[in-house]
Amino acid sequence: MTGETIKYQRKELELKALLEITQAINENKNERVLLNIFKFTCLVHLNIKSLVLYVYNQQEQFFLRRISHQVKEKLPEEIQKGDVQENKELGKLSLSLSGEYSFAEVNIYVPVYHKDKMLAILFLSTKDEDAGLDLDFTQALTNILVVALENKRFARKQLEQESFRKEMEIASNVQRMLFPATLPNHEKLKAKVTYIPHFSVGGDYYDLIQPTEDDVYFCVGDVSGKGMPASLLMSNFQAALRTLLRSGTDLKTIVEQLNLSIFDATKGERFITFFLGHYSYSQKKLTYVNAGHNPPILCLNSEDSAELLEAGTTILGAFETLPFLELGEREGLDHFVLHLYTDGLTEAMNPQDEEYGEKRLLDYINQCRDSTPEDFHIGLLEDMEKFSDGVPGRDDITLLSLQFN
């Protein structure tokens, strides 16, 4: 057989290999099928006896073994990026591996590059040394496979991002439906809320419910986690709360039932910090439970110092049964202001890594006792913006102010 005949037959086999792998890519075969077709194409049509393929994982920063055939040696599943060094001028590859690994059975390596970034390494050995192997073609064929795998990864990532975007959009819509459409703004009660989510879907929750002319229930909470899981937990929490409030149950029982509901749903893996208050106009009485939340601030008049409402219990959902529960009460209240907020407000940072903090909030409140809720919110946000000096917030911010007359 002449050299020209051998060369012609080799080119014919290479063409078959190229057609098989490109056909599989065009038919949108999955990664496992593509890798198998590539392996058997190399073994059948090219002069290859054994091969090992490592493909670079961009996210994890290592080379992952995707194919291993006819190699008895112990090979690493992963090779760290820093353990691979190639001297292109000498055509030599250096691997920094522990002594238990060896690549002696696959003595030829074929690197695959995109610009200066190594995408993959194909290790192989030939069936017949005299028959030779077109390394340029083998490299091109491997490149086609690796690019196809990378395209599939990119398409999968895009699909995941689109799915995440839709999930967040649904969660955002669910959250908007949870919040009150309007808040009272009349002689007996003026209410104002400022809600600034850190992302499109936040973990904060607030509500104001007036089941009768005499009763006003109000609350603020912070659900652990973000996105759809937090939004669904929040919606279930609100449904349970409103059902319990309609039944006329006392605050102590409501909080115990809410805690049990969250614990049953999440098995202690998620929790909610929560403040629930009730005001009776006829009794001029404020009753409340603080479940591990930032204590709301009660302002009676311009002379008395602000009071923190701390009585209550621990966070909801962490324990099947609340370890303690204290009901807070204040009587004889006919004109007062109450500020409820989440920790995103006091944890706002400035360029010096200082928090806005509870003390600054109290100082500002003491300076603005006579402000309406509307003016109070405008002024406080300006004060926080000045303090932060351009540093973005790290969490959702919710501030609910209630002025009872």
Give the pLDDT of residue 303: 67
Provide the pLDDT confidence category of residue 227 given band limits of 50, 70 and 90.
Answer: low
Provide the pLDDT confidence category of residue 28 given band limits of 50, 70 and 90.
Answer: confident
Q: Picking from 46-60, 84-98, 273-287, 355-369, which range would have the lowest pLDDT averaged per residue?
A: 84-98
Res 238 pLDDT > 90 = no
Give the pLDDT of residue 59: 81
Distance CA(109)–CA(66), nearest Å, equals: 15
β-strand pairing of 336-341 with 108-114 = unpaired
CB count in 10 Å sphere of residue 161: 10
Give the pLDDT of residue 134: 81
Provide the pLDDT confidence category of residue 55 given band limits of 50, 70 and 90.
Answer: very high
Give the pLDDT of residue 175: 64
Non-local (6+) Cβ contacts of 218 within 8 A are: 191, 206, 207, 208, 209, 276, 277, 278, 279, 338, 340, 400, 402
Distance CA(292)–CA(86), nearest Å, equals: 57
For the ranges 161-175, 176-190, 362-376, the one whose mean pLDDT is highest: 362-376
pTM above 0.85, yes or no: no
Give the pLDDT of residue 295: 96
CB 191 within 8 A of CB 203: no
Average pLDDT over every residue of 10-32: 78
Sign of CA dihedral 367, 369, 375, 378: positive
Give the pLDDT of residue 328: 96
Provide the pLDDT confidence category of residue 302 given band limits of 50, 70 and 90.
Answer: low
Distance CA(251)–CA(299), nearest Å, equals: 22
**Tokens read off for 214:** 């005499």
Average pLDDT over every residue of 175-185: 80
Distance CA(4)–CA(281), nearest Å, equals: 103
Question: Which amino acid is residue 143, in one-letter code?
Answer: N
Q: How far is CA 286 from CA 115, 121, 255, 330, in A?
A: 70, 71, 16, 5
Q: Picking from 5-19, 112-126, 326-340, 350-364, which range would have the lowest pLDDT averaged per residue?
A: 5-19
Provide the pLDDT confidence category of residue 196 given band limits of 50, 70 and 90.
Answer: confident
Q: Picking from 46-50, 70-74, 165-169, 337-341, which range would have the lowest pLDDT averaged per residue?
A: 165-169
CB 183 within 8 A of CB 191: yes
Give the pLDDT of residue 306: 85
Provide the pLDDT confidence category of residue 287 given band limits of 50, 70 and 90.
Answer: very high
Question: 345-358: per-residue pLDDT in tens?
Answer: 999 999 999 999 99
Q: Which of 338, 332, 273 is nearest to 309 (CA)?
A: 338
Distance CA(112)–CA(144), nearest Å, equals: 10
Provide the pLDDT confidence category of residue 243 given band limits of 50, 70 and 90.
Answer: confident
CB count in 10 Å sphere of residue 315: 19
Non-local (6+) Cβ contacts of 134 within 8 A are: 10, 14
Non-local (6+) Cβ contacts of 98 within 8 A are: none
β-strand pairing of 328-331 with 92-95 = unpaired
Distance CA(231)–CA(162), nearest Å, equals: 18
Q: How far is CA 377 from CA 207, 244, 322, 398, in A?
A: 17, 31, 34, 11
Give the pLDDT of residue 64: 93
Average pLDDT over every residue of 300-311: 82
Provide the pLDDT confidence category of residue 393 given band limits of 50, 70 and 90.
Answer: confident
